[in-house]
Structure 1
């Protein structure tokens, strides 16, 4: 005897767009895009850069490993620090310090010193994308996490796709040190924009999300990042009142004037 079962109705995921994300989280969107421009250049051009500096094949692997180790070891303390302090301010300092270290790379007196710079730079540069995602999640409803994270991932990928062409062209024009110069310019541009946003707009954040280091995982895993306090905030019906929505629109419109 068969029993008829009613299939559960799956909730619809709200759609988002980069234009909407730019409206209330422009710094996060800019950070993931420019992070792609910088990290794409690192992944694609660092073997050429290290080889031209005199590293052998094993040395090229060592340069990349040192940068990755820096990202693995420094990413978590930087993220935990951003949980307890103003996250946009932390992001600003991270990108400016990464730019400063990139500027110092052409002047490294030895390979050992260059490896040390890449360790610190990797810790800063690899922290930027997860910091930007955490900053975005600070301002997203839980149901919007998957679509929002997918949008910024596309933005990051677009930056990574363009980066090898841009960095390679600069290296052809100015020489091998065009790579750290390019990375420094990208991070300086982002740092300048972060400072501009801090002076123009007050962040509309009532509760900060918990930082999670970025590992290879699916976008759905980002749904698990929210803590109970933030979920309770968005479950409050008053949050969805049209008056509150209109107030946020007015604040954003006034900031753009």
Structure 2
């Protein structure tokens, strides 16, 4: 009998979030699951790590199932580091992060704690996927995501991923019958047009709320934004080598010697 794969499950919304509970449920049908997730929401933390304070890990059991679970006081990237270096007895065969409550398409990948956990796993040489549903509601319905999460995870386990690449998967907020399928895409060129809402607290001190709107500047039909707007699950291969290789030749023509 073949050995079941070891699957590490992480998120950024916190270990009690419905999204990660759904992800755990699906992964239990594929392999042996260990959860190491933040004890409180860590959305928008990006790839932050804890270096100036202590980290705490507590073994917990939040629902039925064979999974082993740990709650961590740190960031999503901390959770991966602790899992690999302290908790797991061997390197996992797969790391899955999410299912995030809200989009991580396009430029959102830069800010995402969900994707940073997947990227940290990729840095460790572990095949990794970040999953996100386009619904920020805490009580979002994740049922339609299950077959897509399962088939993408099974394909990564079977086929592997190139070194330095992880998958960014976003799922449209649609009933299962209305999801058209899966599209492999590129990241759309889009950004947030941000503003700060300035207010005063009762003591007269200024404070600010970050606000803004998301603007898609990309009209291509091969992007994650197009796929999601048209009822598809988007799969974007993401590399964490940030070198702009196409720019090196031009920079070598500059005069750095005067």
Give the TM-score, by structure 1 length.
0.29
More strand by share: 2
Please tell me whether Structure 1 or Structure 2 has the larger radius of gyration of its CA atoms.
Answer: 1
Higher helix share: 1
**Higher relative contact order, chain-length normalized (CA < 8 Å, sep 6+):** 1
TM-score, structure 2 as length reference: 0.28
